[in-house]
């Protein structure tokens, strides 16, 4: 038999579609971490299908009122406004509209948790860069500036959705800064812009971290969405390596009692030599990368799309049932002793102490099939999976992955 079900819609605006006509390869070679990129000439419907306009932004404010204290920020000229206390008896939704009318910028954080089209684009960026995306909406009235000139410690895609906004870009204050290097900028130190971009609906602007910018509106309201992301960096990998070293050698777990002098220098040289020896081995290097991927994957939420239908019919899957790996589900596969684990959005970290298991675990013999599934982009059935996993075990594996949200059922034909 063949189970009949519909597949979820493909990601409506993945990274390649969002960056068109510039290719992903060109973006990484010529712009990423180097210089800004401004793309224009396409409508919102073409580049950002399904994204909210100002009316949609208002609806989100209204529908999310119960959690606005966690996700709403109100700013004007670099100063934040305190949200009213419940005892003041005013709806946060109504209060935020009043502040907008007063010239303030409304910032709605976490829009990838409120809009499926936004979430799909955020997931495409996350999968490409290996870092969590923060998707925040900015609604600014005419002739206003929410933030003074500043720089970010994360890279940003600016997606203009309605109205226009001018983005003057200034100097590169720091090269590829990390979080601890953030600081307020003396506005007197900001000179003339090195570039000015006027964004219209459908435009995209990429701003590398560390580049000073101070956007403002002109004649009308502006709604834009920022996709801020922190990619996996060398400092993150090396920090994970240090943690692995500490788990393997007690020399890194001892306290530091000598803070200066020759004794400290000698101990430091000794520890550095031990670390270099551990880092020179393939296994610790692999473990460090797995640790980073585990932590990244644990932050990802599943996106909606036939999960209920597939989960309730997964038991009907047989050797000929056609399934598809959900395109918005990046996978992480790793071995632990005599087992192999697969992690994907919705299935988080698992440890021996967990009361409820996280990652799906299978015998090592299933490793080839799991890696095949993780790389797959076209429909397949259990018969397509590689041996030595037996056919009945392949069917059970597909049933489990479908029930837990990695696979969906293909329509007939």
Reported as a single tens digit per residue, the pLDDT across 163-175 is 999 999 999 999 9
Instruction: Identify the pLDDT of residue 2.
Output: 27
Mark residue 163 as left, alpha or beta (left: phi above 0; alpha: psi -120 to 50; beta: remaining): left
Average pLDDT over residues 292-306: 87
257 close to 209: Cβ distance less than 8 angstroms = no
346 close to 403: Cβ distance less than 8 angstroms = no
Encoding tokens for residue 46? 């073409």
Instruction: Identify the pLDDT of residue 13.
Output: 41
Encoding tokens for residue 364? 């090592």
Reported as a single tens digit per residue, the pLDDT across 284-295 is 999 899 888 888
Q: For the chain, what's the residue count?
A: 413
CB atoms within 10 A of CB 404: 18
Beta-bridge partner residues of 412: none
Number of helical H runs and strand E runs in the chain: 13, 16
Q: Look over the chain and give the mean of its residue pLDDT values, rounded to a whole number.
A: 89
DSSP reduced 3-state for 180 = helix
Instruction: Identify the pLDDT of residue 87.
Output: 67
Report the distance separating Cα 280 and Cα 274, nearest Å.
Answer: 10
Reported as a single tens digit per residue, the pLDDT across 205-223 is 999 999 999 999 999 999 9
Average pLDDT over residues 243-253: 92
138 close to 226: Cβ distance less than 8 angstroms = yes
100 close to 107: Cβ distance less than 8 angstroms = no
Instruction: Identify the pLDDT of residue 78.
Output: 81
Torsion angle, alpha carbons of 11, 16, 21, 27, to 10: 150
Q: Which of 12, 390, 18, 385 is nearest to 205 (CA)?
A: 18
Reported as a single tens digit per residue, the pLDDT across 373-406 is 999 989 999 999 998 999 999 999 999 999 999 9
CB atoms within 10 A of CB 364: 12
Any idea which residue has 């992480």 for tokens?
332
Structural domains for the chain: 15-229 (2.60.120.650), 234-297 (no CATH), 307-409 (3.90.930.40)
139 close to 103: Cβ distance less than 8 angstroms = no
Buried b (16+ CB within 10 A) or exposed e, 17-35: bbbeebeeeebeeeebeee
Average pLDDT over residues 79-105: 88
Buried b (16+ CB within 10 A) or exposed e, 36-56: bbbbeebebeebbebbbeeeb
Report the distance separating Cα 116 and Cα 12, nearest Å.
Answer: 10
Encoding tokens for residue 393? 């075990």
Say which residue, 341 or 197, is predicted with more confidence. 197
Torsion angle, alpha carbons of 101, 105, 109, 112, to 10: 80
Sorting pLDDT into bands at 50, 70 and 90, what band is 360?
Answer: confident
């Amino acid at each position: 038999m063949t189970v009949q079900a519909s597949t979820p819609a493909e990601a409506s605006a993945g990274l390649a579609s969002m960056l068109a006509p510039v290719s992903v390869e060109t973006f990484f070679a010529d712009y990423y971490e180097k210089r800004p990129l401004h793309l224009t000439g396409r409508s919102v419907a073409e580049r950002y299908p399904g994204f909210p306009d100002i009316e949609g932004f208002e609806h989100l404010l209204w529908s999310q009122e119960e959690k606005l204290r966690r996700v709403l920020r109100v700013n004007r000229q670099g100063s934040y406004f305190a949200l009213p206390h419940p005892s003041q008896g005013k709806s946060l939704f109504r209060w935020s509209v009043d502040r907008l009318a007063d010239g303030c910028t409304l910032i709605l954080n976490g829009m990838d948790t409120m809009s499926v089209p936004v979430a799909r684009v955020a997931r495409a960026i996350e999968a490409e860069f290996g870092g969590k995306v923060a998707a925040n909406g900015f609604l600014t009235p005419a002739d206003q500036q929410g933030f003074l000139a500043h720089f970010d410690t994360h890279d940003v895609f600016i997606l203009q959705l309605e109205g226009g906004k001018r983005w003057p870009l200034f100097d590169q204050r720091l090269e590829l800064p990390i979080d601890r290097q953030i600081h307020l900028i003396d506005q007197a130190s900001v000179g003339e812009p090195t570039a000015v971009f006027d964004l219209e609906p459908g435009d995209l602007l990429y701003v590398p971290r560390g580049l000073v910018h101070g956007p403002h509106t002109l004649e009308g309201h502006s709604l834009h969405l920022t996709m801020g992301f922190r990619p996996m960096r060398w400092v993150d990998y090396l920090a994970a390596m240090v943690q692995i070293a500490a788990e393997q050698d007690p020399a890194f777990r001892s306290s530091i009692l000598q803070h200066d002098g020759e004794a400290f220098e000698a101990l430091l040289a000794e520890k550095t030599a031990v670390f270099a020896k551990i880092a020179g081995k393939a296994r610790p290097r692999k473990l460090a990368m797995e640790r980073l991927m585990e932590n990244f994957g644990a932050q990802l939420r599943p996106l909606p799309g036939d999960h209920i239908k597939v989960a309730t019919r997964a038991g009907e899957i047989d050797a000929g049932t056609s399934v598809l790996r959900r395109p918005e589900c990046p996978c992480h596969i790793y071995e632990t002793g005599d087992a192999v684990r697969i992690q994907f959005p919705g299935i988080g970290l698992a440890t021996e102490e967990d009361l409820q298991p996280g990652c799906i675990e299978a015998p090592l013999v299933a490793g080839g099939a799991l890696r095949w599934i993780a790389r797959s982009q076209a429909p397949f059935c259990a018969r397509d999976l590689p041996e030595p996993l037996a056919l009945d075990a392949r069917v059970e594996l597909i049933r489990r992955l479908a029930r837990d949200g990695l696979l969906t059922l293909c329509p007939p034909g």
